[in-house]
Amino acid sequence: MTHRYCPDCGAPCVEKVPEDDHKLRSVCTGCNAIHYVNPKVVVGCIVEAGDQLLLAKRNIEPALGRWTFPAGYLECLESCAEGAARETVEETEAKVEPLGLFAMLDIPHISQIYAVYRARLVGDHFAATPESSEVQLMGMDEIPWKDLAFPSVATSLRLYAEDRKSDSFRTHTGIVEWNGEGSRFDLEQYRLRDHLAR
């Protein structure tokens, strides 16, 4: 059950399939409100500074001590691009200029959608924050591929490396699929399915 109690009236919820629906939902036994749980949207920036990218080492779980580009959950009342820029400030103190959507990746097994933007570093300031123990500019040959935090990050950076090599940046979509084996943090257990690039 997703809700034990109704956030509207406080009465207990039960799990059932509402009329004209097809899935189990949390339904309030008092006011009959139906409470839907939808996928989370994660937004982030691949931040460019000349030939380098800005990466941060996570100072929080999950994936404590692993590297990522700045990313986090989209907040209400902000656009995806605004959220990606905000997360970049929160995790690295870096101000960025978004260059456009780079990848929209579905991760169904954890009910997440990743919207990844290319962005340009504005100025030269960046720093560690409570969320990031280290923040560094890295060349493509310095990216710690085996120590990346999440499959979405690894997939996005691989696509970025391919586009950069051809000097033709595209917009990518696809499904980051876990094979169900081992740890969900083992990047080798994932593949990109139904990939399209335009």
Alpha carbon 157 to its chain centroid, in Å, reads 13
Contact 57, 70 (CB under 8 A): no
Same domain assignment for residues 8 and 101 = no
Same domain, 110 and 191: yes
Do 46 and 26 have their domain in common?
no
Contact by Cβ (8 Å): 171, 103: yes
Same domain for 108 and 12, yes or no, is: no
Please indicate, yes or no, whether residues 50 and 15 belong to a single structural domain of this protein.
no
- Whether residues 33 and 44 share a domain: the answer is no
Neighbours of 8 (CB within 10 A): 12
Structural domain that includes position 91: 40-197
In a shared domain, residues 22 and 107: no
pLDDT at 185: 85
CATH number for position 84: 3.90.79.10
At residue 60, the pLDDT reads 96
The pLDDT of residue 1 is 56
Summarised one tens digit per residue, pLDDT across range 166-195 is 999 999 999 999 999 988 889 999 999 999
Q: In 93-120, which positions are buried (b, 16+ CB within 10 angstroms) versus exposed (e)?
A: ebbbebbebbbbbbbeeeebbbbbbbbe
Q: Are residues 90 and 134 in the same domain?
A: yes
Looking at the structure, tell me whether residues 109 and 17 fall in a common domain: no
Q: Do residues 139 and 84 both lie within one domain?
A: yes
**One domain for residues 178 and 113:** yes
Calpha distance 65→13 (Å, rounded)? 39
| Domain identity same for 100 and 18 | no
Residue 10 reports pLDDT greater than 90: yes
Domain count, the chain: 2
Looking up residue 33, the CATH number of its domain turns out to be 2.20.70.10
